[in-house]
Amino acid sequence: MKTLNDYANIVNRRLAEIPAVIPEGCFEIGEMPWLLSRSMRYSLEAGGKRLRPSMLLAAVDMLNGDGEDALDFACAVEMIHTYSLIHDDLPGMDDDNLRRGRPTNHVVFGVGQAILAGDGLLNAAFETMLNHACLRPERSARYLAAIREIARGAGVTGMIGGQVMDLHCERSGIADNRALEYIQYGKTACMFVYPLRAAARLCDAGEADLKALSDYGRAFGLLFQATDDLLDVTGAQADMGKTLGKDAESGKLTCVSAYGLRGTQERVARLHSEALAALERFGTRGAFFRELVDSMVSRTH
């Protein structure tokens, strides 16, 4: 069985090829400006565990699908995740100067270029999937279904919807548990749920597999966010370059602000059970996902 690290290496090798690196000063029509390539790569290569694309690939393996065929879809998921971080960090949004210990994209390239680097990554994610999808016409229908899942997860009822609600609540001082649930599902869970659904589409899996992967993605994503909220308060992330307790100070809506420390710990335990229950139908083939959610919970111990 491949580990998270194995999948991350596979994703990193492919990401190094797309989008193309352009020599400085070049502006042939039909090529990408080198400045755009450089600013997109700056954030794409800033590290990160490649969790979302790795989970997509692991799901394809679990369903006995074609991992090579799924690779460009996995890379697209990481490109979308990266664009969302670039735009999230902008002035007018979270206005952060540091991400993973490095200056954020707009600090290095300027606000205008950072907006365009984000736009470029989102569009390039679709270009990457579509370029791959046009290679094998006999698989067109499942490719379309997979791209659509990823678009929904990233979209106005998914990740972007969650970001809008987050920004709106922060600006308006709204502290409502329904809003919190909307934000955490949209902003965090959707980019686990829908890439896993895309994996199922690529494997032409049935409705039961699709539902089980959706349920796991939802529980895992909400748990991921809840443990993040917990660690933000308990300060255990200080060594990961994150500003200690930033969210707690800013009045941002978090699990801890909504449910308290004890309530958040109970939430984590409940979501952990839900994630494991969703994996039952996969038996031993679900080992990667079982270990993944166990390791996420153990972060808070």
Q: Can you give the binding site for its own copies, defined by CB under 8 A?
A: 19, 27-33, 35-37, 40, 83, 87, 90-93, 106, 110-116, 118-120, 122-124, 126-127, 130-131, 133-134, 137, 140-141, 143-145, 147-148, 151-152, 154-157, 160-161, 163-165, 167-168, 171, 178-179, 181-182, 185-186
In this structure, are residues 228 and 86 in contact, taking their beta carbons and an 8 Å threshold?
no
Quote the CA–CA distance of 29 and 26 in Å, as a whole number. 9
Q: How far is the CB of 239 from its own copies (least distance, A)?
A: 30
Q: Cis peptide before 19, with omega less than 30 degrees from 0?
A: yes
Q: How far is the CB of 1 from its own copies (least distance, A)?
A: 33
Q: Which residue shows structure tokens 């074609």?
A: 66
Q: Which is nearer to its own copies, 124 or 292 (CB)?
A: 124
Q: How far is the CB of 294 from its own copies (least distance, A)?
A: 26
Q: How far is the CB of 286 from its own copies (least distance, A)?
A: 25
Q: Is 276 helix (H, G, I), strand (E, B) or coil?
A: helix
Q: Which is nearer to its own copies, 55 or 124 (CB)?
A: 124
- Sequence-distant (6+) residues with CB within 8 A of 279 are 212, 216, 286, 289, 290
Q: Which is nearer to its own copies, 179 or 297 (CB)?
A: 179
Q: Compute how many other C-beta atoms are within 10 angstroms of the C-beta atom of residue 140.
A: 11
Q: How far is the CB of 5 from its own copies (least distance, A)?
A: 30
Tokens of residue 79, six digits: 């490109």
Q: Compute how many other C-beta atoms are within 10 angstroms of the C-beta atom of residue 145.
A: 15
CA angle 184, 48, 245 (to 5 degrees): 55
Q: Which is nearer to its own copies, 186 or 286 (CB)?
A: 186
Q: How far is the CB of 157 from its own copies (least distance, A)?
A: 5
Q: How far is the CB of 78 from its own copies (least distance, A)?
A: 16
Q: Which is nearer to its own copies, 225 or 237 (CB)?
A: 225
Q: Which is nearer to its own copies, 207 or 239 (CB)?
A: 207
Q: Which is nearer to its own copies, 93 or 231 (CB)?
A: 93
Tell me the HSE value of 25 on the side-chain side, using a 13 A CA sphere. Answer: 0
Quote the CA–CA distance of 58 and 73 in Å, as a whole number. 13
Among 235, 254, 251, 252, which Cα is nearest to 243's?
235
Query: φ, ψ for residue 99 (rounded to 5)?
Result: -145, 125
DSSP per-residue codes, 260-272: HHHHHHHHHHHHH
